[in-house]
Structure 1
Amino acid sequence: MMNLLIFLVIGATAGWIAGQLMKGGGYGLISNMVIGVLGAFLGKFLFGYLGFSFEGLIGTLISAVLGAVILVFIVSLIKKR
């Protein structure tokens, strides 16, 4: 149960940071969690594919933020069309 809570907090934080970097504001708590969690999966997959590995809480947060930024960028490209 504690791992799920930590995972959601990291997801919300990563989504909020990605929102600050890409849009200038957050997207709301639930949206930040979704963006952050999906970004964490995307970041882990992409960086694992490239041979990078992030360990620990800070490493997980960095990977999630970078994945969330990539996710927000891709979504913004799709929305512009």
Structure 2
Amino acid sequence: MSIITWIIVGLIAGALAKWLMPGNDGGGWLATCGLGIAGSFAGGFLGSLLGIGASGFVGTIVVATVGALVLLFIYNRFIR
């Protein structure tokens, strides 16, 4: 996938991660969308390393959302 696609998917994944893991985040929606973009890159990279390639748009959203949820969890636990 292209980088632009991962950024768009990351924005969607960040919104989904915020919806799935509600709470008081320090950065609000902007930081969560940034974590979503980073999570989509991390999820896509780790998925390709492990051979769990996301096929189709829904699979890509799932991989990116899982990556965003992991980064959001780490952010809420350790950084905040």
TM-score interval, smaller chain: 0.7 to 0.9
> Percent identity between the aligned chains?
32
Shift of 1:7: 3.9
**Uncovered stretches (5+) of structure 1, i.e. residues with no partner:** none
Correspondence list, 1:2-13, <5 A: 4=4, 6-13=5-12
Between stretches 62-71 and 36-45, larger displacement belongs to 36-45
- Separation of aligned partners in 2, 1:41 and 1:54: 12
Q: What is the match of residue 31 of structure 1?
A: 31
1:21-71 superposed Cα distances (whole Å, 9 cap, x missing partner): 11258932x434322211111111222333311112111111110000000
Whether the aligned pair in 2 keeps the contact of 1:16 and 1:25 (CA below 8 Å) is no
Higher relative contact order (CA 8 A, sep 6+): 2
Asked if 1:49 corresponds to 2:40, the answer is no
Between stretches 65-74 and 44-53, larger displacement belongs to 44-53
Aligned residues: 76
- Separation of aligned partners in 2, 1:25 and 1:58: 28
